[in-house]
Each structure stands twice: as structure tokens, then as C-alpha cells.
């Protein structure tokens, strides 16, 4: 048998094997996607599944779809299509990274897309054991390191965010609300108030927060105070 024919037979994949690889890519992609979904990230379940599945299919096509071309181009490289996945996934990952002032978000989500593509490629190559182990390690990193960051690592300047909030309250409740604000936010700055309509005060202030989701956190805390209304909370980017 000629060398070209031997190569063709080597690269041909049975349909049942292809189906198994595709199913595993969907399952493993959904595992990472589920973790991203429950943490409310931009690239969730559907995105991760499609990235992993797409990488798997591209890899299968790269190996099997062009195998007959080996007879015409003996020196051809069947991994060329798969190699472009690494480059192509960068464009999708870049869309999840956002920068607002000094705050950069989405880097972890972009990394999970990159990891999902790698797992899909492993499935496409038939390296199911590598894909499964990689998925377990990826989810472990996402979950365990998050717990480590929240419970063990000290909050530092890297996570410091400046938040501005304002609200209306009855004038007679001013002293009580001011004391409550001092208890909730000892780091409060630029506190001021002025008289609004209907004998109410408009209070505004800025604080520095190291919470992961400071706007939601501050909004929740202030919403628990019955005396205030027309609450507005936003992050300031400088």
C-alpha cells in the first residue's frame, strides 16, 4: 500500500467515533458554561457549549475532512484548520473583556472561552480523557480559587471602587439616617445634603468599596432603610 493511502486510512474517523467526540464536547462545554451561568457572566451556558462544539467540529474536519487531499499534496498539514481555532477564539474572547476607567472585567470569562476551545479540540482529536481531566481542573480553578479569594485573600487596592449614591428622605429622619450611614460605610466621603421639595432632604455621598459587586451591595443595604426613597447608586470611573 502506498504511503498516501496509509495516511488517508490513518486520518479517517468512523461516524460513531465522531458522534462520541461531539457529544463529549457538548457535555464538557456545558459543565464550564453552567459555572459561568450561575455566576452571571456574559459568556454563559450556550456560548461555552457552542465554542467547545465548534472547536471540536473544526478539529474533526481538519483531521478527517481534507484527508483525501493528501494524495494530491503529500506534504500537506491536516492540522492547519485546527491551528486557526486558537487565533479565532481570541476575537470572541476580546468581546468579553471590558475596561471602564481603572476597572477591567471579563478576563476570566475570556479565559474560559479559550479553555473551552482547547477542550473541544481535545474531543475532536479523540483525546477524551485529556478533555475530561481538563474540564474538571478548569471548574475546580473557577470555583475553588473564587472561594479562596473571598475568604482568605485580603481585599486590597486592586478591588477598590468609587461609588456615588443619592436619595431623598424626610428631614426629621436625617440624624438617624446619618448615623446609619456612618455604621454601614465608615469610609464615606463627600457627604452633603440639601433641601428638596415637600420638606425632604436630598442626600448624596461617595464611598470607596472593595466589594465584588459594590453597586448591588450598596443598593441592597440602603434599600433596607424605610425612610429613604428615589435611591440612585452608580460606580464612578476616573
pLDDT tens track for 23-73:
999 999 999 999 888 887 777 889 899 999 999 998 888 877 665 555 555
pLDDT of 159: 61
Q: What is the pLDDT of residues 184-230, one digit of tens each?
A: 887 787 888 787 777 788 888 888 877 767 788 888 888 888 888 88
pLDDT of 129: 93
At residue 11 the predicted structure's pLDDT band, cuts being 50, 70 and 90, is very low
Mean local confidence (pLDDT), 3-12: 48
pLDDT of 67: 58
Helix (H, G, I), strand (E, B) or coil at 170: strand
Mean local confidence (pLDDT), 122-151: 88
Q: How far apart (Å, rounded) are the C-alpha atoms in residues 237 and 140? A: 33
Strands 200-209 and 189-195: antiparallel
Percentage of the chain modeled with pLDDT above 70 = 79
pLDDT of 196: 73
At residue 12 the predicted structure's pLDDT band, cuts being 50, 70 and 90, is low
**Mean pLDDT score across all residues of the chain:** 79
Backbone conformation region of residue 92, classed left if phi is above 0, alpha if psi is from -120 to 50, else beta: alpha
Q: How far apart (Å, rounded) are the C-alpha atoms in residues 30 and 51? A: 10
Mean local confidence (pLDDT), 15-28: 90
At residue 10 the predicted structure's pLDDT band, cuts being 50, 70 and 90, is very low
pLDDT of 68: 56
Percentage of the chain modeled with pLDDT above 90 = 21
Q: For 5, list phi and psi in degrees, rounded to 5.
A: -65, -40
Amino acid at each position: 500500500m502506498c504511503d498516501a493511502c496509509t495516511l488517508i486510512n490513518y486520518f479517517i474517523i468512523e461516524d460513531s467515533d465522531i458522534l462520541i467526540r461531539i457529544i463529549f464536547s457538548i457535555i464538557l462545554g456545558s459543565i464550564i458554561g453552567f459555572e459561568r451561568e450561575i455566576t452571571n457572566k456574559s459568556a454563559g451556558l450556550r456560548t461555552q457549549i457552542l465554542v467547545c462544539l465548534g472547536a471540536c467540529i473544526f478539529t474533526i474536519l481538519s483531521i478527517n475532512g481534507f484527508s483525501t487531499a493528501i494524495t494530491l499534496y503529500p506534504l500537506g498539514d491536516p492540522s492547519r484548520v485546527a491551528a486557526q481555532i486558537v487565533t479565532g477564539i481570541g476575537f470572541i474572547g476580546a468581546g468579553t473583556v471590558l475596561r471602564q476607567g481603572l476597572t477591567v472585567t471579563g478576563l476570566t470569562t475570556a479565559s474560559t472561552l479559550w479553555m473551552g476551545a482547547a477542550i473541544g479540540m481535545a474531543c475532536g482529536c479523540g483525546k477524551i480523557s485529556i478533555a475530561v481531566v481538563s474540564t474538571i481542573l478548569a471548574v475546580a480553578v473557577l470555583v475553588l480559587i473564587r472561594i479562596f479569594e473571598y475568604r482568605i485573600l485580603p481585599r486590597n487596592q486592586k478591588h477598590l471602587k468609587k461609588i456615588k449614591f443619592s436619595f431623598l428622605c424626610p428631614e426629621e429622619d436625617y440624624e438617624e439616617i446619618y448615623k446609619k450611614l456612618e455604621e454601614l460605610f465608615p469610609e464615606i466621603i463627600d457627604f452633603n445634603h440639601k433641601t428638596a421639595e415637600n420638606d425632604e432632604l436630598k442626600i448624596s455621598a461617595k464611598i470607596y468599596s472593595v466589594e465584588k459587586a459594590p453597586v448591588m451591595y450598596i443598593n441592597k443595604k440602603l434599600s433596607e432603610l424605610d425612610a429613604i426613597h428615589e435611591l440612585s447608586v452608580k460606580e464612578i470611573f476616573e
